[in-house]
Amino acid sequence: MEAWEVHAKVCSAIALLLIMAASVPSWAQDSDPQAQPRVELSLRSWLYTAGETQWSHNASGIDPQRGDPTSKLTYKDNDTHIIELGGRLNFTRRVFFEAYGGFSVSFNRGRLVDDDFTAVGGQHLYSRTSSDVTGSGTQYVNLNIGIRAVDFPGSRGHLDVLGGFQYWRTEYEATGVSQVVCTPSGIPGVACTPNLSLPGVLAITNTTHWITPIQIGINTEYRVTPRVSVDLKASVSPASVVLNDDIHHLRPDELQQDPSFSMWGVGVGANAGAGVKFLLTRNLALTGGYRVMWNRTYYGRWENHPIGGGAATAPLTEFQTIRHGVIVGLIGSF
């Protein structure tokens, strides 16, 4: 079954459940627009999000002939369609718990650009290869506890403060290798292959885990009319941890294993989104907007894993992941 067919079936089934749930009388009273339903369920479709992961390391401390950065890999233009399921339980009028998670079946397209640098004769690029990107896609989950901090005058809306946890995983597969740039490296035993072309072969598998143990944010909603409201959501984390494994399947040397390289780092993370909500019925709303998810390290380490032992470590100079796109959905309350 094709990925889009799986998404279509999932969306249809859950949309039906939301509509059925929305037919149940709401906990909120029509006379009190600030009152909240006991439970909210949501189905959202993050339409063809654009994503990019980029990392680099500096091995010049191991070998002064290596550049700084030594290698830089960029997985870019990684478009995919994400289905998101969510729920919110209001314990009281002011305290709530929310959980939501998303998944994509695969990446629709993308490119890996792999750059290698040398310091011989001055810092310069000596090798660049390009590969197509496929893979199992991306998945994430968010868990938050929140408090209603402010009610706007005239029942116009509210401001919530929340804190919680996020986990975000992405897996790329780089297929095929084309040599784009190839010049002498000046490093004995290190060379590229001019005009190299290996179509259709699995070259690299890369798996990234971002773990955010503490994130703090706000959710605010303002009613423009009784049926139309605008909202803004944002959260930040000063300590987001990345764990990354890189398997180079075509390496002829001792690094052809699982993993060939591993990385870890600590950085910052942020999520932000703005949208519009339109009440279709008392218990069912249509939403639309734009969302961004982003993480970047400020400290990290890179390590290789030779089969014979003797692993070397070096500073991880950058690791960054971003995904953004238009999101639409349904929210049912009861």
Does 33 have pLDDT greater than 50?
no
pLDDT of residue 252: 66
What range defines the domain where residue 183 resides?
3-333
Spatial CA neighbour of 99 closest among 139, 137, 140: 140
Angle (CA) 47 280 103, round 5°: 25
Cβ neighbours of 170 (radius 10 Å): 25
Q: Can you tell me the distance from the alpha carbon of 168 to that of 271, in angstroms, rounded to the nearest whole number? A: 12
pLDDT of residue 37: 75
pTM here is: 0.88
More confident residue, 1 or 186: 186
- β-bridge mates for residue 229, sequence order: 223, 277
Instruction: For 13, list phi and psi in degrees, rounded to 5.
Output: -65, -45
- β-bridge mates for residue 159, sequence order: 150, 220
pLDDT tens digit string along 293-332? 999 999 999 998 877 777 889 999 999 999 999 999 999 9
Number of domains within the chain: 1
pLDDT tens digit string along 321-334? 999 999 999 999 98
Q: What is the CATH number of the domain that holds 260?
A: 2.40.128.90
Do the Cβ atoms of 76 and 321 come closer than 8 Å?
no
Helix (H) or strand (E) holding 9: helix 3-22
Q: Can you tell me the distance from the alpha carbon of 143 to that of 215, in angstroms, rounded to the nearest whole number? A: 10
Do the Cβ atoms of 293 and 322 come closer than 8 Å?
yes
Q: Can you tell me the distance from the alpha carbon of 325 to that of 308, in angstroms, rounded to the nearest whole number? A: 45
Query: Among 84-88, 187-191, 211-215, which stretch is predicted with the lowest mean pLDDT?
Result: 187-191
